[in-house]
Amino acid sequence: MDQTKTVKNHVKRVARTLAETGALFFDDNLLLKDGRPTPYFVNMATFRTGRMSLLLGSFFAEMMVSEGLEKHVDVILGPSYKGSAIALSTSIALWQLYQKDLSFEYDRKEAKTHGEATGKKGMFVNRSLFDGCRLFIVDDVATSMATKYDLLEKIEAEAHMSGMTIHIEGIGIGIDREQTTAVYNEEGNVVLGRKGNNAIDDFRARSGIKVFAVAGIKAVVQYLYEERMPVLVKGNRVPMDEKTKAAFDLYLDTYGVDGG
């Protein structure tokens, strides 16, 4: 099958699923963690049943296999909390769909010092990391990549404490928001209407780690708009109207990478 057609079909399936589950929604007065307003949000916590969890995992598994990553990974790691569910569902999907059996792991918010972790201050729950292991990190969205930087620090600390060498083969995100980082003034307040840097490019340059996305938000929204598929807009499931699409386009013109 033509690779371009395969990619387009993949984006369509992801877009339809985001719309059907309400994971993608549009509303007023939404704020990102960095303080900027946004006309939309992606909440993959809506994949809350067994069927939907497996479907979400299949998207990540398909992405990993298409990039050949499953051949070079031992452990799938998801940052708590949402990333932990993605790591589990991805490992299940890899086994069910591709007969590739990988461990999954997720971090603690605070180090455990009792039970099996007595005296070790373990920061990872399943204790599946080992010397020379190859990690693939999975998470729901990419905005500023701050969560990913925090996780890298935990991995580095764990490796140092345990005397292990850990290789990170890449980071997989569900939806790339395709936007720049926030800009702050001297008082630490976000400057509205100003673009920072390309968050993913900055992350690659600083960490040397490749980033892979299941889908980009522009293609997802464009497909849903053109197909008139019902999405959650201000709490109602309706086809995306021109006003909602215009607000999305303006947002990416303002904060998006490469001019949105």
Which pLDDT score, from 0 to 100, does residue 113 have? 52
CATH code of the domain covering residue 137: 3.40.50.2020
For the question of residue 72 being annotated catalytic, the response is: no
Given a contact cutoff of 8 angstroms between Cβ atoms, the answer to whether 126 and 106 are in contact is: yes
Which pLDDT score, from 0 to 100, does residue 148 have? 85
For the segment 18-67, what is each residue's pLDDT rounded down to a tens digit?
999 999 999 999 999 889 999 999 999 899 999 999 999 999 999 999 99
Separation of alpha carbons 54 and 200, rounded Å = 27
What is the side-by-side strand order in the sheet with 24-31? Answer: 37-42, 24-31, 230-233, 236-239
Domain count, the chain: 1
For the segment 184-232, what is each residue's pLDDT rounded down to a tens digit?
999 999 999 999 999 889 889 999 999 999 999 999 999 999 999 999 9
Catalytic hit among 112, 121, 154, 218: 112
Which pLDDT score, from 0 to 100, does residue 6 have? 52
Identity of the residue numbered 32: L
Separation of alpha carbons 128 and 76, rounded Å = 10
- Full-model pTM: 0.87
What Å distances lie between residue 225 and 2, 182, 256, CA to CA? 25, 27, 19
Separation of alpha carbons 80 and 6, rounded Å = 32
Separation of alpha carbons 107 and 33, rounded Å = 20
Mean pLDDT of the chain: 89
Which pLDDT score, from 0 to 100, does residue 54 have? 94
Given a contact cutoff of 8 angstroms between Cβ atoms, the answer to whether 241 and 202 are in contact is: no
Q: Which domain holds residue 150?
A: 3-259
For the question of residue 112 being annotated catalytic, the response is: yes
Q: Is the pLDDT of residue 178 over 60?
A: yes
Separation of alpha carbons 85 and 93, rounded Å = 12
For the segment 83-112, what is each residue's pLDDT rounded down to a tens digit?
999 999 999 999 999 999 999 999 886 655
Instruction: Give the model's confidence band at 126: pLDDT under 50 very low, under 70 low, under 90 confident, else very high.
Output: confident
